[in-house]
Amino acid sequence: MKPDKTPLILGILAVALALVYFLPLQIYVRHILILTLLYAFLGTGWNLMCGYAGRLSLGHSAFVAVGAYTSLLLFANFGITPWIGMLAGGVFAVIVMLLIAYPSFRFGVKGPYFTLGSIALAEIVHNLLIYFREYTGGSLGMSLPYQPTSLALFQFDGKEPYYIIILVFWLAAVFLTWKMERTRYYLEAIREDDDAAAALGISVNKNLIIAACISAFLVAIGGTFYVQYYRYIDPYSIAGFTLSLNIALVVVIGGSGTILGPTIGSFLIIPITEILRMSLGASMPGLHLFLYGILLILCIIFLPKGITSIPGIMRAKKAKKDNQLNQGAEGVL
Amino acid sequence: MDLVLQIIISGLLLGGIYALISIGLNIIFGVIKIVNLAHGDFLMMAMYAAFFLFTLKGIDPFVGVFIIFPAFVLLGVFIFRVMIKPLLGTAETEVNTIIATAGLGFVLQNLALMLWKSDIRAMETSMTGQSYEFFGIMLSSGRTWAFIVCLIVALLLYYVLMYTKIGTHIRAVSQDTDAATLMGINVDKIYTLTFAIGIGLVGVAGAIIAPTYNMYPTIGLYFNTMAFIIVVLGGLGSFTGALIGGLIIGLVEAFAGVLASAELAQVFSLLIFLVILFIRPEGIMGKGARV
């Protein structure tokens, strides 16, 4: 077995991204980097459940929303620091995930049925947020009460601290995925063939539920980060279908069920979307998302297994070519 | 008592509209086994098409249907050939068709936004605001006619599927693709045809509901969720199921809408949907497990 190069690649990547912190970047570039890392983080969380379990969730915005609203409500009403609110939101998201994941794994809800169920979950959260408008502000959304820069309250005036925080979050999530894939949760085996894994005595359901809960926890933390960074949330942006779809897309385009797929996907998609938005958004509303949709369809058609599959495809092509050469040589002999 | 009856009748009419909206989605899933997440956005496009036929050319949506249906059939053929067909037959088909159709939904929504802005539009046809009184019960005329069209479309489709050669082919492909291929059926052709009919039927639905709903570029998202709930409730791929699912959701929404609020009405439908999904994923009318 060849040695796993993942920690090395991860280390280099993390150091490189940490060095970026010291570059004199424009605010706007820094914003794109933060957003990219946020999506890489959310995607990594999504991937832990969906990429490995082969179940496509298009409702993960439900957990983002649970995380964001929990920490925001705790802070706005009781003055509890978002750092604790973040953990509370994570726990709350895990409970919501258990409510849906346990029955769906137990009853073997798979394929499109699982996807539709996940969409329904996000819709329920979305509708409830609007319904409880006395507390959540309904469709109008909620703002984060402003505080001057304070690490204890997770609020900063500049963008730099947010960059470091999301970088740490992202690194932790990717490292966790690597650990879970390699060790006792057998995610790799489950991804390849869950029936075979079950036959080998791996408790597929238990491991999947654990992965699902960690996934919900991470994504909810992303929700808290979102509200601390943007300082404003509303049900459409944070519990809407578009966010769910974007999280899934980043992973599918990058390569689902791989450790760095979500990160690669995010670094490709998010800057493109943001640059399209900046250059075209004002002159013609909708054009940038129109182009984005087309780009996405093209990606899916031409790279159905995501960007991380490119080296594999190249190797296969080379092997085929070598094979043909060898056969040719045999023919001559 | 009268109020209850009024709610039931309104619920049934609403259910008819929902059923009409879901038929196209259902037939595509039943035969090709793919989920078309752009379904609601096709509906939105058809609503705009009906709107412009009416405001620019003075063609009533109930006549405009005969223009919109063939146009959407052609659109369906194009989309299937260009986007869906390359994705079929791989291990990732299921995930990738969902993602690709979601991307298509994005494209359609933003196309609408670019072309027609985010303004909310409504059309005033001879039916707007009209209603019939029937033994003391008020029937909105737009919804009544939509219900009637739904029944006609359902009967026509039933006839085509059960009593024509092409219908037999479609059913054969939906039951067993390999066996159908061995029997000399051109599966590729049947897939294209089914997708085209499915999109055509969404076109019909969009034109018919255009006079009774306000339209804006993202209205598809609302109907999308509704259509999926109904189709899964009735059984993905089951045709009578779509009708029954539509009626159930129509009734639930009508009652919950009166007793609680619009948001809670949707939460109720969604919860019913989730419960059915867990205890009977094949749907109320579905035959055996389809997963």
pLDDT tens digits, residue range B115-151? 888 788 888 777 776 777 777 777 777 788 888 888 8
B154 occurs within a structural domain: yes
B156 occurs within a structural domain: yes
Kindly determine whether residue B110 and residue A289, on different chains, have CB atoms separated by under 8 Å. Answer: yes
CB-based contact A146:A231 (threshold 8 Å): yes
What's the mean pLDDT in B2-30? Answer: 83
CA-nearest residue of chain A to B265? A127
CA-nearest residue of chain B to A101? B278
Comparing CA positions, the residue from A306, A267, A240, A316 lying closest to residue A51 is A306
What's the mean pLDDT in B178-189? Answer: 84
| Residues of chain A contacting B29 with CB distance shorter than 8 Å | 112
Please state the domain count of chain B. Answer: 1
Kindly determine whether residue B100 and residue A117, on different chains, have CB atoms separated by under 8 Å. Answer: no
Mutate to test the interface with A, among B37, B83, B93, B110 (most CBs of A within 10 A): B110
Kindly determine whether residue B267 and residue A119, on different chains, have CB atoms separated by under 8 Å. Answer: no
| Residues of chain B contacting A108 with CB distance shorter than 8 Å | 291
Fill in the DSSP letter of residue B281.
T
B20 occurs within a structural domain: yes
B291 occurs within a structural domain: no
B229 occurs within a structural domain: no
Comparing CA positions, the residue from B244, B241, B262, B240 lying closest to residue B253 is B262
Give the separation between CA A211 and CA A217, rounded to whole angstroms: 10
What's the mean pLDDT in B95-104? Answer: 89
- C-alpha to C-alpha distances, B103 to A245, A306, B36, B100, nearest whole angstrom: 9, 15, 11, 5
Q: Which residue has the higher pLDDT, A228 or B255?
A: A228
SS3 B140: strand
Burial of A331 per CB tally in 10 Å (0-12, 13-18, 19+) = exposed
CA-nearest residue of chain B to A127? B263
Give the separation between CA B282 and CA B277, rounded to whole angstroms: 8
Q: What is the pLDDT of residue B146?
A: 83
Whether residue B285 has pLDDT greater than 60 = no
Q: What is the pLDDT of residue B282?
A: 65
CB-based contact A165:A225 (threshold 8 Å): yes
Angle, vertex CA B36, rays to CA B284 and CA B84, nearest 5 = 135
Q: Which of A169-183, A207-221, B177-191, B273-287 has the highest mean pLDDT?
A: A207-221
Low-confidence residues in chain A, pLDDT < 50:
1, 333
Kindly determine whether residue B291 and residue A113, on different chains, have CB atoms separated by under 8 Å. Answer: yes
What's the mean pLDDT in B25-31? Answer: 86
Comparing CA positions, the residue from A117, A101, A11, A124 lying closest to residue A49 is A101
Which residue is it, tokens 């013609």? A284
Q: What is the pLDDT of residue A310?
A: 81
Sign of CA dihedral A203, A116, A243, A268: positive
Q: What is the pLDDT of residue B96?
A: 87
How much of chain A is helix, strand and coil, in % rounded to 5?
Answer: 75, 0, 20
Task: Annotate B53-73 with b (16+ C-beta within 10 A) or e (fewer).
Answer: bbeeeebbbbebbebbbeebb
C-beta atoms surrounding B148 within 10 Å: 13
SS3 B152: helix
Q: What is the pLDDT of residue B238?
A: 66
B176 occurs within a structural domain: yes
B228 occurs within a structural domain: no
Kindly determine whether residue B92 and residue A305, on different chains, have CB atoms separated by under 8 Å. Answer: yes
Q: What is the dihedral of CA A210, A211, A214, A216, to 10 degrees?
A: -110
**Numbered residues of chain A with Cβ closer than 8 Å to any chain B Cβ:** 56, 58, 100, 103-104, 107-113, 115-117, 119-121, 123-124, 127-128, 130-131, 241, 245, 248-249, 252, 256, 284-287, 289-290, 292-294, 296-297, 300-301, 304-305
Nearest to A248 among B99, B110, B113 (CB): B99
Whether residue B171 has pLDDT greater than 80 = yes
Which residue is it, tokens 């059939």? B73
Comparing CA positions, the residue from B222, B232, B166, B175 lying closest to residue B194 is B166
| Residues of chain A contacting B106 with CB distance shorter than 8 Å | 245, 289-290, 292-293, 296
Q: What is the pLDDT of residue B291?
A: 30
B210 occurs within a structural domain: yes
| Residues of chain B contacting A247 with CB distance shorter than 8 Å | none
Per the structure, the complete domain to which residue B79 belongs is given by: 2-219
Give the separation between CA B30 and CA B27, rounded to whole angstroms: 5
- C-alpha to C-alpha distances, B111 to A285, A287, B206, nearest whole angstrom: 10, 7, 17
